[in-house]
Amino acid sequence: MLPKATPREELLINLRAAYARMWVRLRGSNREVTGLVAEIGLPILTIGAYVILYRAIMLPPTAGAAVIIGGAMIAFWTNVLWNMSSQWFWERESGNLEMYLVAPVSRMSVLLGMAMGGSVNTSIRALGIVLLGIFVFQVPFQLADPLSVGLVFVLTLVALYTMGMLFASIFMLYGREAWNTANLLQEPVYFLSGAYFPRIYAPVVPFALQAAGSLIPMTIGLDAIRRLAINGESIATVWPHILALIACTLILFPLARRALNYMESLGKKEGRLTLRWQ
């Protein structure tokens, strides 16, 4: 029998596993230039359509700026859906899941690595989207406090990728449902998060819609970032957003951990962890 690892050794091996998973993600996603170009260029098509729609209905140019930020944040949501939530599904299909399961590390460290790699990768793409959007559509920004924007942005990503960890656990045993559910969670979330609206927390938007949207960390973070980067507001006006994002992370992380343990144990009992082509 192997000697039991000390807590320090256990922490170190899990951090190394997270780093290794992050490295694979960074390397894998950036070695293909076509993919990088497409992931920056494709959202511009949709963003462009909405910016032109705003012009067609005679809204102020700041609405276009809101759409560009929304489009950039959507890149993170897409990454969370397809590269976090559905990841165990892909791994099972390609035969890697069993290797993760027999590795002497916590599954959460693997998810953490995916989240870190995914957030770094997508940040590069989101920056590209914002810069290209500003260049093409010439929309105004009022960035008075870049540090506050950075803080809110990081908190949003942490909350969002923690939600991704929870989804990854729930999606673990999915077959084709993984693909379809990830598809299903695209447009409805774009709608609920107000990614393409000038703002979601406006009197004309029904309260029920605002409440449903607020269950998604991206909605809260997006509103705060828009206030800071477009309206030129100070951090004092977005402190409820900051608290809400921290609360989201604190609630979602333990939930993700429990869900992962439950789904793994269910998968073992039902013999579905290595089942392909469902």
Partner 1 sequence: MAVADFVKSARESFRVGWKIESNWTDPVLFATYQVIRPLASLLIVAFIVIIGASVGASANSAFYTGYLAWLIVGNAFYAFVLQIMLGMAILVHVDRTRYEVLKNIYISPGTLHPYVIGRGLVSVVNGAVSVILTLLFSVAIFNGLLHMNIPLNLLNVNLLMLIPAVILGIIGLLAIGYMLCAVNIVSNRMEFILGDSVSGTFFLLGGVIFPITSLPSQIKLISNVLPITFFLNAIRESFGITSMVTGDYMSNLAFLALTTLVALALGIGVFRLAEHRAKKLGLFDRKSEY
What's the min distance (Å) between Cβ of 195 and partner 1? Answer: 8
**What count of other Cβ atoms lies within 10 Å of the Cβ of residue 64?**
25
| Distance in Å, CB of 50 to partner 1, minimum | 7
Q: Quick one: 57 or 147, whose CB is closer to partner 1?
A: 57
- Separation of first and last alpha carbons in the chain: 37
- Residues 91-110 as x/- pattern, contact with partner 1 by CB under 8 A: --xx----------------
In angstroms, what is the minimal distance from the CB of 204 to partner 1?
4
Q: How many residues does the chain have?
A: 278
Stretch in the footprint of partner 1 (CB under 8 A) among 2-10, 43-51, 164-172, 258-266: 43-51
What are residue 29's phi and psi, to 5 degrees? -80, -20
Q: Which residue has the tokens 């596993």?
A: 17
User: If you search the block for the tokens 């959007």, which residue do you land on?
Assistant: 133
Binding partner 1 (rule: CB under 8 A), the pick from 124, 175, 231, 233 is 175
If DSSP codes are grouped into helix, strand and coil, which group holds residue 77?
A: helix
Closer residue to partner 1 (CB): 19 or 179? 179
Told to check if 42 binds partner 1 by CB under 8 A, we report yes
Q: Which residues of 147-178 are buried (b: 16+ CB within 10 A; e: fewer)?
A: ebbebbbebbbbbbbbbbbbbbbbbbbbeeeb
What span, in angstroms and rounded, lies between the C-alpha atoms of 139 and 44?
Answer: 14
List the structure tokens of 24. 């694979």
Residue 234 in contact with partner 1, rule: CB under 8 A: no
Spatial distance between the Cα atoms of 254 and 233, rounded to a whole number of angstroms: 33
CB of 91 to partner 1, least distance (A): 11
* Residue with smaller CB distance to partner 1, 153 or 197: 197
Of positions 35, 61, 104, 232, contacts partner 1 by CB under 8 A: 35
Q: What is the Cα–Cα distance from 3 to 211, expressed in whole angstroms? A: 51
Q: Residues touching partner 1: how many (CB under 8 A)?
A: 40
Q: In the complex with partner 1, which residue's Cβ is closer, 10 or 233?
A: 233
Instruction: Report CA-CA distances (Å) from 36 to 33, 87, 128.
Output: 5, 19, 10
* Site of interaction with partner 1 (CB under 8 A): 32, 34-35, 38, 42, 45-46, 48-50, 52-59, 93-94, 175-177, 180, 183-184, 186-188, 190-191, 196-198, 202-205, 277-278
